[in-house]
Amino acid sequence: MMISATEAAASRVQAFLSKRGKGIGLRLGVKTTGCSGLAYKLEFVDSSNSDDEMFESNGIKIFVDQKSLKYLDGTVLDYTKEGLQEGFKFTNPNVKDECGCGESFTV
């Protein structure tokens, strides 16, 4: 099992944590929603949970709960800026289909 972050994503997470003034990393998970079934969720982590799997990549810690891990194995978190659009991008090898708006996916 593996989750990783690009240098751009890691740099952005470190900047957010620094500005926030606390936190040990980022939690990546999935939630049931949208027209395709699953959507990504991101949140800062101040302390890990007992069921978390922790991955270190480019100097940041990424925490994933056991339920989400099966949907996220192999995912690479990136941060992109294209014109006025910027944000985190997920490259997930488990995705079989995405909704038209790009907010949700199926595995």
Please report, in tens digits, the pLDDT of each residue of the chain (107 residues total).
799 999 999 999 999 999 999 999 999 999 887 665 788 899 999 999 999 999 999 999 999 999 999 989 999 999 999 888 889 999 888 786 665 555 555 66
Which residues lie across from 45 on neighbouring strands?
25
How many whole angstroms separate alpha carbon 17 and alpha carbon 26? 9
Residue 32: phi, psi to the nearest 5?
-80, 120
How many whole angstroms separate alpha carbon 43 and alpha carbon 59? 17
Residue whose C-alpha is closest to residue 63's, from 27, 88, 22, 31? 27
Query: What type of residue sits at position 37?
Result: G
With respect to CATH, is domain 4-96 assigned 2.60.300.12? yes
**What is this structure's pTM?**
0.85
How many whole angstroms separate alpha carbon 89 and alpha carbon 53? 21
Domain ranges of the chain: 4-96
